[in-house]
């Protein structure tokens, strides 16, 4: 193929210029003259120029109309211009038309005799920049339909070629185009743009070609000014381009290159530079850009959103300015965004498409990232968002763009006001949980929130959240956890969340005047249809405040318990728990609520048994079903363990259940509970008592009270029963009560065990609990007692008592049963008692059998007694006490074996046989009631009587003494008138008669002090002596011989018996035996020192004066008696 037409033309021009070198001087002179008047025509040079520009006429031929020389200004000086240049193709068709061409000749070529241009400049040509369907670019002149890109490519090749004499155009070093009318044609997009007055400069350098192109591109109504700087690196065959532009709207140019299609999202004026590194075939290796933008809109193009599988996210957001810096590696298909900065217009909103369907404010954006085309991955290294208040920092990796896309992101949010949650938390992200948090959390802020997120495309233009994990720091937040309860305020702590849960951990805060120490608010089921909230708060402060908290509506726990918070004290720690389904129409029935409190030093008034509660350390658990209280308290003055269960609701097995165990160190303090021990003073019962009380409160039937007492530490002594229990000996008391309106209506059971005693029974009350009906003693066992009984109160305040059973041990109280001890009387005591007992013990080995009797007591006296019983061998005794006609009480006692009965009763053990009869009458009209009567015993014997034996031995009555020590001394009768008053038994003219011996006695027996003071006469040989005693019936002489003592003989001895009943002092005056009757008084002054008799110490005269006084008294007594005759 021959040389191109333009090359041959340039070579001929150069040859022409060389030929004209000789006349250069002449031409210069002529040129100066001609230039002064205008351009100078050099038409004669045109053939030579055509020859230089047509090195290969076979490719194209250049024709010139004229050649002129003109002054082009001081920058260009002299300029050779060719006018109306036409380029013809091989078929002689015009393929290019250039209005004007300027050239300068190469001096280097002229030195070698070659006429060739050093530079060529084209003025106002029409050019076309075409992107073929193949993707290749070409530049041609648009004079005809034939392609003329050969000439442009030949010029570029000449610029790259080294100077060669055989190639004239190789001396070309610069090629410029001025004011070209450029048309850009994109056959791929079937679009074209026009750029009038385009400028282009190309210049040879050591590495290749440098170029600069300035274009004013007209796109629709908009004009874009581009400045393109480029370097062609010949050695590498690559182009390095830098494009400067301003006032370009990217959305208008997004179709220029496929790689620029994302610019469709930028509907705003841009300015900046773009640098490219590419091959000559149009393959782009590296693109760098630095762009700024003005007011407009930016977003995700629809085509790109569809490619990303996020069609619903196609949107544009208004902005005020933009800055972007980055690069693109075409080989690696790697797009780097080193700096992206966007400031959005006021009111700009970021729309999160369905299913999120949420808008949030957006003020500015700063970010860095990259797109890895080979991996189809987008990496957001850093994205900082100013959300018009809070700020967010994000990073993300997006894989599988356009296919099954996945997103892995993490971020941080700062300074989010809780009141703005609704603006930044999409409701679709945990719908019900979001609604609850937005409506129940207020004030305060989230200082920091961190999150990691995993999503994938749903195939319908949206994203599905597969993984979500994060946490946040909150402070100063108000939590309205269960309206209208007091809100938790100034709450601070952390929150953690994931796809399934949103958990808030509270580190502190306050509620009313309580301190919120810690807590949790958990939301679960965020990935389910229903979400649930679990709230747990740990609150501390005064007990009254804690009770006010749980008493708040809708709970009302304290009111339900009957506790007035204002009357309580102490400090508390409360754990409040709530659980409910998260929904808008939430009711209290749907809320599971519970509270656990630890109360310290708690106090409350009138809590139980009328006692105040103090110094309490209690644990309280309360929920909608009920409340449990447990701990240590002081109930009144007593340490106690308290357990309390209260049930709420309608259908419950019971309302309240109290379990109280307390220790009473001193049993006498039990009076604090209103229990009066009465006569059970400290010497009868003392020590400590451990009691357990269970009170069950019912709604529709009587309450139940069960009391159990451990008596191990209690010492108990009841001498009347002959029973005692020492400390350390086990014992237990139990009682079950039924209560109605705080009144006892039934005692189904009571029991006592301990110290060998067992008592079991029950009690019945009237239905309204107003009165006691009956006490049943089902079993009474202790010692020798085994019986049962009943106690029935009467309408008059008295009691009806009934006892029956195998045995009753009366021995411990028998000795004191009939003693009239001084003390406080109880005139209100009235009862009647019936007894049917197989055996009644009156002493260690003494008992009555088959006792049947009735007893009635009215006030401080027995009013009626009827008693029938048997002694040994069927001996019987009958006792009756009944009212007399004169208002006094009559007493009668009969027994068919006086010795047996007296022995059983412990009155006298030395009598055998005999019949006994006692008659008497109580003088109830006197202030001091006395009993006056007579004791008669007939036909009995006395054996082993120490006091009698002592008297007999003094008188040396040996035979009588032997009888007394053998089978006993027989007596025919004993008659003893008596008067019992105030514990003093006075006897007078008591006569005891027998064949061998007789007695008289008068004096007093002090039953309370158990002391005797008796005196009388003992008559030996009573049957004979009594015969002489007939003289006692003779007036005047009788008393002289027998004395005043009834039954006294002619010969008898006086005696005295004083001191303790168990061992009295017995004394006798034997000289009185020699003096009959009244003359026995003559020897009363004889002291024991003067005789062999024994007298009590109190009767011994200590001095001679005392003896004289004693004799004088005896003497006066004798004459007193003599005068009475």
> DSSP characters for 730-743?
-EEEEEEEEEETTE
Determine which of 18-22, 275-279, 442-446, 645-649 has the lowest per-residue pLDDT on average.
18-22
8 Å CB contact between 154 and 140: no
What does the pLDDT read at residue 919? 94
As a whole number, mean pLDDT of residues 816-821 equals: 56
What does the pLDDT read at residue 181? 87
What does the pLDDT read at residue 990? 92
What does the pLDDT read at residue 779? 93
Has residue 442 got a pLDDT over 60?
yes
8 Å CB contact between 582 and 482: no
Q: Which residues contact 311 (CB under 8 A, 6 or more apart)?
A: 302, 305, 461
DSSP state, residue 164 = B
What does the pLDDT read at residue 1034? 47
Determine which of 400-404, 591-595, 690-694 has the lowest per-residue pLDDT on average.
400-404
Out of 30-44, 291-305, 994-1008, give the one with best mean pLDDT: 994-1008
Question: What is the Cα–Cα distance from 1032 to 1026, expressed in whole angstroms?
Answer: 9
What does the pLDDT read at residue 1041? 44
End-to-end, the C-alpha distance of the chain in Å comes to 206
CA proximity to 1019, closest of 1002, 1039, 1036, 1042: 1042
The interaxial angle of helices 46-53 and 5-19, nearest 10 deg, is 140
Question: What is the Cα–Cα distance from 1025 to 1081, expressed in whole angstroms?
Answer: 19
Question: 947 vs 806, which has greater pLDDT?
Answer: 806
What does the pLDDT read at residue 1051? 56
As a whole number, mean pLDDT of residues 515-522 equals: 85
8 Å CB contact between 968 and 912: yes
Out of 32-36, 382-386, 398-402, 821-825, give the one with best mean pLDDT: 382-386
Has residue 1106 got a pLDDT over 60?
no
What does the pLDDT read at residue 781? 93
CA proximity to 501, closest of 520, 478, 516: 520
What does the pLDDT read at residue 1119? 45
What does the pLDDT read at residue 921? 92
Question: What is the Cα–Cα distance from 1108 to 1123, expressed in whole angstroms?
Answer: 23
Residue 81 backbone dihedrals phi, psi, to 5 degrees = -125, 145
Record the pTM: 0.57
Q: For the stretch 947-961, what's the b/e string if a residue is b when 16 or more beta carbons lie within 10 angstroms of its beta carbon? A: bbbbbbebbebeebb
Has residue 1123 got a pLDDT over 50?
no
What does the pLDDT read at residue 680? 57
Give the C-alpha distances (Å, rounded to integers) separating 1052 from 240, 1021, 1071, 1107: 172, 9, 10, 24
What does the pLDDT read at residue 317? 85
Tell me what the pLDDT averaged over the chain comes to: 77
- 592 by Cβ neighbours in 10 Å (0-12 / 13-18 / 19+) ranks as middle
Q: Which residues contact 808 (CB under 8 A, 6 or more apart)?
A: 784, 785, 787, 835, 837, 839, 840, 841
Confidence of residue 46 (pLDDT cuts 50, 70, 90): confident
Alpha helices in 741-839 (DSSP H): 811-817
Has residue 1050 got a pLDDT over 70?
no
Confidence of residue 849 (pLDDT cuts 50, 70, 90): very high
Question: What is the Cα–Cα distance from 260 to 254, expressed in whole angstroms?
Answer: 5
pLDDT tens digits along 371-418: 888 888 889 999 998 888 888 898 989 888 767 788 898 888 888 888
What does the pLDDT read at residue 1097? 42
Confidence of residue 1113 (pLDDT cuts 50, 70, 90): low
Question: 114 vs 17, which has greater pLDDT?
Answer: 114
What does the pLDDT read at residue 347? 85
Confidence of residue 817 (pLDDT cuts 50, 70, 90): low
What does the pLDDT read at residue 718? 78
Give the C-alpha distances (Å, rounded to integers) separating 148 from 52, 121, 145, 154, 651: 19, 17, 9, 10, 104
Residue 276 backbone dihedrals phi, psi, to 5 degrees = -130, 145
Confidence of residue 824 (pLDDT cuts 50, 70, 90): low
Has residue 580 got a pLDDT over 50?
yes
Has residue 747 got a pLDDT over 60?
yes
pLDDT tens digits along 184-226: 887 877 777 788 888 989 888 888 888 888 888 776 667 778 8
Question: 844 vs 544, which has greater pLDDT?
Answer: 844
What does the pLDDT read at residue 759? 94
As a whole number, mean pLDDT of residues 964-972 equals: 72
What does the pLDDT read at residue 516? 81
What does the pLDDT read at residue 788? 94
As a whole number, mean pLDDT of residues 1039-1067 equals: 68
What does the pLDDT read at residue 18? 53
Percent of the chain beyond pLDDT 90?
Answer: 11
Determine which of 154-163, 476-485, 796-805, 917-926 has the lowest per-residue pLDDT on average.
154-163
Determine which of 174-178, 830-834, 893-897, 1048-1052 has the lowest per-residue pLDDT on average.
1048-1052
Query: What three-state secondary structure class fits 1045?
Result: coil
Q: For the stretch 343-378, what's the b/e string if a residue is b when 16 or more beta carbons lie within 10 angstroms of its beta carbon? A: bbeeebbbbbbebbebebbbbbbbbbbbbbbeeebb
Query: What three-state secondary structure class fits 200?
Result: strand
What does the pLDDT read at residue 197? 86
What does the pLDDT read at residue 868? 94
What does the pLDDT read at residue 455? 82
Out of 3-12, 64-73, 181-190, 254-263, give the one with best mean pLDDT: 181-190
What does the pLDDT read at residue 1096? 40
């Amino acid at each position: 193929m021959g040389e191109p037409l333009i090359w041959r033309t340039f070579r001929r021009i150069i040859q022409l210029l060389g030929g004209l070198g000789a006349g250069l001087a002449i031409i210069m002179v002529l040129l100066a003259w001609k230039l002064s008047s205008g351009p100078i025509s050099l038409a004669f040079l045109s053939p030579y120029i055509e020859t230089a520009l047509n090195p290969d006429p076979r490719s194209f031929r250049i024709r010139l109309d004229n050649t002129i020389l003109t002054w082009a200004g001081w920058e260009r000086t002299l300029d050779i211009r060719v006018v109306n240049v036409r380029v013809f193709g091989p078929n002689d068709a015009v393929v290019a038309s250039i209005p004007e061409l300027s050239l300068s000749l190469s001096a280097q070529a002229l030195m070698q005799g070659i006429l060739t241009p050093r530079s060529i400049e084209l003025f106002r040509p029409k050019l076309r920049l075409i992107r073929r369907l193949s993707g290749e670019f070409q530049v041609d002149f648009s004079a005809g339909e034939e392609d003329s890109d050969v000439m442009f490519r030949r010029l570029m090749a000449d610029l790259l070629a080294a100077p060669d004499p055989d190639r004239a155009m190789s001396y070309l070093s610069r090629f410029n185009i001025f004011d070209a009318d450029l048309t850009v044609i994109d056959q791929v997009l079937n679009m074209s743009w026009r750029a009038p007055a385009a400028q282009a400069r190309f210049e040879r350098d050591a590495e290749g070609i440098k170029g600069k192109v300035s274009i004013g591109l007209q796109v629709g109504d908009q004009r874009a000014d581009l400045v393109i700087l480029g370097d062609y690196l010949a050695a590498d065959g690559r182009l390095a381009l830098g494009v400067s532009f301003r006032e370009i709207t990217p959305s208008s140019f997004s179709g220029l290159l496929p790689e620029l299609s994302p610019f469709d999202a930028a509907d705003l004026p841009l300015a900046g530079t773009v640098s490219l590194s590419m091959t000559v075939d149009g393959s782009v290796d590296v693109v760098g850009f630095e762009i700024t933008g003005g007011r407009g809109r930016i977003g995700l193009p629809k085509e790109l959103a569809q490619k990303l599988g996020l069609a619903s996210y196609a949107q544009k957001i208004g902005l005020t300015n933009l800055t972007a810096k980055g690069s693109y590696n075409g080989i690696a298909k790697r797009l780097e965004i080193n700096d992206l900065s966007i400031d959005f217009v006021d009111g700009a909103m970021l729309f999160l498409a369905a299913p999120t369907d949420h808008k949030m404010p957006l003020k500015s954006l700063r970010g860095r990232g990259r797109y890895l085309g080979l991996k189809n991955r987008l990496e957001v290294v850093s994205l900082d968002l100013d959300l018009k208040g809070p700020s967010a920092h994000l990073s993300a990796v997006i894989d599988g763009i356009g296919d099954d896309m996945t997103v892995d992101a993490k971020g941080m949010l700062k300074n989010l006001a809780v009141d703005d949650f609704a603006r930044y938390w999409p409701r679709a992200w945990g719908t019900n949980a979001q609604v609850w948090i937005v409506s129940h959390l207020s004030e305060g802020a989230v200082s920091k929130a961190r999150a990691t997120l995993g999503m994938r495309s749903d195939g319908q233009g949206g994203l599905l959240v597969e993984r979500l994990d994060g946490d946040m720091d909150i402070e100063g937040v108000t939590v309205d956890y269960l309206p209208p309860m007091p809100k938790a305020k100034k709450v601070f702590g952390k929150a953690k969340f994931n796809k399934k849960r949103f958990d808030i951990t509270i580190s502190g805060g306050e509620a009313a005047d309580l301190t919120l120490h810690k807590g949790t608010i958990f939301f679960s089921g965020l990935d389910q249809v229903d979400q649930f909230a679990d709230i747990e708060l740990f609150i501390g402060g005064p007990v009254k405040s804690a009770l006010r908290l749980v008493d708040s509506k809708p709970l009302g726990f304290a009111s339900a318990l009957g506790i007035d918070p204002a009357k309580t004290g102490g400090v508390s720690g409360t754990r409040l728990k709530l659980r409910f389904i998260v929904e808008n129409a939430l009711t209290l029935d749907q809320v599971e609520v519970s509270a656990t409190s630890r109360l310290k030093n708690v106090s409350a008034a009138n809590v139980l048994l009328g006692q105040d509660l103090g110094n309490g350390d209690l644990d309280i658990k309360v929920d909608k079903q009920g409340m449990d209280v447990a701990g240590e308290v002081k109930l009144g003055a007593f340490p106690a363990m308290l357990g309390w269960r209260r049930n709420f609701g309608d259908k419950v097995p019971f309302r309240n259940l109290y379990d109280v165990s307390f220790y009473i160190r001193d049993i006498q303090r039990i009076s604090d509970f209103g229990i009066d021990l009465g006569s059970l003073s400290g010497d009868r019962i003392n020590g400590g008592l451990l009691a357990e009380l269970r009170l069950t409160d019912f709604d529709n039937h009587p309450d139940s009270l069960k009391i159990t007492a451990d008596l191990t530490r209690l010492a108990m002594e009841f001498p009347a029963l002959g029973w005692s229990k020492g400390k350390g000996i086990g014992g237990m008391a139990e009682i079950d009560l039924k209560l109605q309106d705080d009144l006892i209506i039934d005692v189904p059971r009571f029991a006592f065990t301990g110290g060998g005693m067992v008592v079991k029974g029950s009690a019945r009350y009237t239905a309204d609990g107003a009165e006691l009906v009956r006490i049943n003693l089902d079993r009474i066992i202790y010692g020798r007692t085994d019986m049962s009984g009943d106690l029935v109160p009467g309408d008059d305040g008295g009691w009806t008592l009934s006892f029956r059973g195998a045995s009753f041990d009366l021995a411990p109280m028998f000795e004191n049963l009939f003693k009239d001890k001084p003390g406080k009387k109880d005139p209100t005591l009235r009862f009647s008692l019936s007894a049917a007992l197989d055996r009644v013990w009156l002493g260690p080995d003494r008992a009555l059998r088959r006792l049947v009797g009735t007893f009635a007591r009215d006030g401080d006296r027995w009013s009626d007694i009827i008693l029938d019983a048997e002694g040994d061998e069927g001996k019987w005794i009958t006792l009756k006490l009944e009212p007399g006609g004169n208002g006094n009480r009559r007493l009668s006692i009969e027994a068919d074996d006086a010795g047996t009965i007296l022995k059983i009763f412990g009155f006298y053990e030395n009598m055998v046989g005999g019949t006994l009869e006692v008659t008497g009458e109580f003088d109830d009209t006197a202030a001091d009631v006395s009993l006056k009567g007579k004791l008669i015993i007939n036909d009995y014997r006395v054996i082993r009587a120490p006091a009698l034996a002592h008297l007999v031995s003094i008188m040396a009555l040996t035979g009588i003494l032997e009888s007394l020590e053998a089978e006993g001394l027989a007596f025919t009768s004993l008659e003893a008138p008596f008067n019992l008053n105030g514990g003093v038994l006075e006897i007078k003219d008591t006569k005891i008669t027998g064949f061998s011996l007789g007695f008289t006695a008068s004096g007093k027996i002090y039953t309370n002090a158990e002391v005797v003071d008796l005196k009388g006469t003992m008559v030996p040989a009573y049957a004979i002596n009594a015969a002489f005693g007939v003289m006692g019936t003779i007036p005047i002489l009788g008393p002289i011989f027998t004395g005043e003592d009834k039954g006294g003989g002619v010969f008898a001895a006086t005696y005295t018996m004083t001191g303790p009943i168990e061992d009295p002092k017995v004394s006798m005056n034997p000289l009185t035996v020699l003096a009959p009757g009244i003359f026995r008084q003559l020897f009363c002054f004889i002291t024991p020192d003067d005789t062999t008799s024994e007298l009590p110490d109190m009767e011994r005269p200590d001095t001679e004066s005392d003896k004289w006084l004693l004799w004088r008294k005896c003497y006066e007594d004798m004459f007193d008696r003599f005068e009475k005759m």
